[in-house]
Amino acid sequence: MFTLRHVAKHFGDGMKALEDITAEIPPGSFVALLGPSGCGKSTLLRLLSGLEMPSSGEISWGHTGKPAPGEIGYVFQDPTLLPWANAAENVYLPLRLRRESWSSAMPRVHTALAQVGLEGFEQSKPKGLSGGMRMRVSIARALVSEPALLLMDEPFAALDEFTRHKLQDDLLALWRRTGKTVVFVTHSIYEAAYLANRILIMTPRPGRIAATLTPNLPVGVERRNSPAYHALVSEITASFQRIMPA
């Protein structure tokens, strides 16, 4: 269980990014952090990664101390691949940094690439891949360490609608298959409603958690057209209308 207790983050210039965040992230859950731009979603993700410390409050990763190398998988808004390395080498990177040999890491590199549907693209360099495929490599790179927590910061925001839907579906299938704990930052109500089974609705700066929803949508192809999904979108929209009246 990952928990945040009364977490606040203030920056040196007096900017209050986050205020009094208390939340639980149960193992195996798919949590969406949903809020308008600048509400501190990404800051919260960085705190969860252990890259930054909260100004006050506590974060627990289910053990004492900070996350170990490889315990956190991080997917950024841009794929941020090494342009000189091919797909397999990019996925190998986190293991290489922890001084694992290529021969011992190779099976996991191939498994991670297969998990995102990129078998056969091991030798392709980022320049030769489409935007969607680069994002898949980036996800494989986050999965290869078998992290306890997968953090994703608006990973599909820069993709076209069709590619985004495909990657959302594949991510959902991957999550069901692996049972990973995912925290997914997005500013899209539709995306949060479609993907998550736990939605944290955040207020504009300073970010606070205004509401927590735990929807349970049908699994499968009908999900995007299901009445439950559309009802959820309306419910979320209504709560934002309460938080941010026009």
Partner 1 sequence: MSKSVERVAPFLFGLTALALWQGAVWMTHTPSYVVPGPLKILRAFYDSRTALGAGLLSTLAVTGAALLASTILGVFLAVAMAASSFFRAAIQPWAVILQVTPVVAIAPLIIIWVGQPFLALVVCAVVVSFFAILSNTAAGLAATPPELLDLFLLNGATRWQILFQLSLPYALPFFLTGLRLAGTLALVGAVVAEFVAGSGGFASGLAWQIIEASYRLQIPRMFAALLLLGAAGIVIYAVLGVLERVVLTRRDGA
Q: What single-letter DSSP state applies at residue 223?
A: G
**Which residue's entry shows tokens 């409603």?**
193
Mark the segment that binds partner 1 (CB under 8 A) among 15-23, 80-88, 105-113, 189-197: 80-88
Beta carbon nearer to partner 1, 146 or 235: 146
* Distance of alpha carbon 235 from alpha carbon 229, whole angstroms: 10
Residues 112-141 that bind partner 1 (CB under 8 A): 125-128, 141
Phi, psi of 187 (to 5 degrees): -110, 15
**Is residue 94 a contact point for partner 1 (CB under 8 A)?**
yes
Pairwise CA distance, residues 39 & 210, whole Å: 12
Query: How far is Cα 224 from Cα 161, in angstroms, rounded to an integer?
Result: 13
Neighbour tally for 196: CB within 10 Å: 26
Residue whose CB is less far from partner 1, 74 or 175: 74
Among 22, 28, 37, 84, binds partner 1 (CB under 8 A): 84
Residue 50 near partner 1 by CB under 8 A: yes
Q: Report in angstroms how near the CB of residue 50 gets to partner 1 at its nearest.
A: 8
Asked if residues 204 and 38 have their Cβ atoms less than 8 Å apart, the reply is yes
Q: Is 61 in the site for partner 1 (CB under 8 A)?
A: no
Q: Which two tokens stand for residue 124?
A: 């392709």
Closest CB to partner 1 among residues 69, 227: 69
Span near partner 1 by CB under 8 A; candidates 57-65, 95-103, 109-117, 160-168: 95-103
Q: Contact with partner 1 (CB under 8 A): which of 1, 15, 53, 97?
A: 97
> If binding is defined by CB under 8 A, does position 53 make contact with partner 1?
no
- Residue 211 engages partner 1 in binding (rule: CB under 8 A): no
User: What type of residue is 72?
Assistant: I
User: How far is it, in rounded angstroms, from Cα 136 to Cα 115?
Assistant: 9
Instruction: Return the range that interacts with partner 1 (CB under 8 A); candidates 75-83, 188-196, 208-216, 238-246.
Output: 75-83
Q: Which residues contact 51 (CB under 8 A, 6 or more apart)?
A: none
Beta bridge partners of 181: 149
Q: Which residues bind partner 1 (CB under 8 A)?
A: 46, 49-51, 67-70, 72, 74, 76, 78, 80, 82-84, 93-94, 96-98, 125-128, 141, 145
